[in-house]
């Protein structure tokens, strides 16, 4: 079946902006899929939020994608991502969004930096993880995963990106994700890697 719209199963503006730009780079520009209309929850009346209460990225992403595909009868793309710090045994991980409770991401970053204040830079190894799921209304599922390794910086740097980007130092560029230009981050990010793997599944739908 051919569709004319792809639903991004999120209302998070930072994530939506990033996925939109990635799709333009990975799909629309190389393959000239200019007829593809990208929608999100923001294009529909407010609805009850789908809780991300699983213990795995994959389960959270599958839940969002499947429910969205059924609800809107559209191919739906969902992801779940998190920051894993080695010396914290992988925390905050799948709970990255809820780390520290109902506080802003700026406060979450400050809390994480405080927890690591006595840890030398070379031991602050971390990775971003993203699991992306494409769900089709008939029930088909496609799943991909992307990771990127770096370190937790000793202070915030940069005001680009969102979430934990300003404290995630990427050695190859000698900058945090918060300092990278959009096109630079899109070359190496966990979300870019996961999404790129699904492009062969997205292409035939439009």
Residue 4 has pLDDT above 70, yes or no: yes
pLDDT at 163: 94
Q: Are 142 and 194 in contact (CB under 8 A)?
A: no
pLDDT in tens, 44-99: 888 777 877 888 999 999 999 999 999 999 999 999 999 999 999 999 999 999 99
Residues whose CB falls within 8 Å of the CB of residue 205, separated by 6 or more in sequence, listed in order: 1, 2, 3, 6, 75, 136
Question: Order of strands across the sheet with 76-85?
Answer: 37-40, 5-8, 76-85, 125-135, 141-152, 168-170, 175-176
Distance CA 118, CA 109 (A): 16
pLDDT at 96: 96
**Does CATH number 3.90.950.10 belong to domain 5-205?**
yes
Residue 43 known to be catalytic:
no
pLDDT in tens, 146-172: 999 999 999 999 999 899 999 999 999
Residue 40 has pLDDT above 70, yes or no: yes
Distance CA 163, CA 178 (A): 9
**More confidently predicted of 111 and 183:** 111
Catalytic residue, from 80, 123, 159, 165: name it: 80
Does the pTM exceed 0.85? Answer: yes
Domain boundaries, given as residue ranges, for the chain: 5-205
Long-range contacts of 140-143 (CB under 8 A, 24+ apart): 141/62, 141/65, 141/66, 142/198, 142/201, 143/58, 143/61, 143/62
% of the chain at pLDDT higher than 70: 96
pLDDT in tens, 8-36: 999 888 888 888 888 887 766 655 555 67
């Amino acid at each position: 079946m051919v569709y004319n719209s792809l639903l991004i199963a999120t209302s998070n503006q930072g994530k939506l902006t990033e996925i939109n730009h990635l799709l333009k780079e990975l799909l629309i520009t190389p393959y000239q899929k200019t007829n593809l209309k990208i929608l999100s929850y923001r294009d529909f009346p407010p609805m009850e939020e789908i809780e991300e209460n699983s213990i795995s990225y994959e389960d959270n992403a599958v839940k969002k994608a499947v429910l969205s595909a059924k609800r809107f009868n559209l191919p739906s793309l969902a992801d779940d991502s998190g920051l894993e710090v080695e010396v914290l045994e992988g925390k905050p991980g799948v709970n990255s969004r809820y780390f520290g409770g109902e506080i802003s991401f700026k406060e979450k970053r400050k809390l994480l930096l405080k927890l690591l204040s006595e840890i030398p830079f070379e031991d602050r190894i971390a990775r971003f993880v993203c699991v992306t799921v494409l769900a089709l209304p008939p029930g088909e599922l496609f799943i991909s995963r992307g990771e990127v390794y770096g370190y937790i910086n000793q202070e915030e740097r940069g005001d680009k990106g969102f979430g934990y980007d300003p404290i995630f130092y990427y050695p190859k560029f000698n900058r945090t994700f918060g300092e990278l230009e959009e096109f630079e981050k899109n070359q190496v990010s966990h979300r870019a890697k996961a999404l790129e793997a699904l492009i062969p599944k997205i292409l035939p739908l439009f």
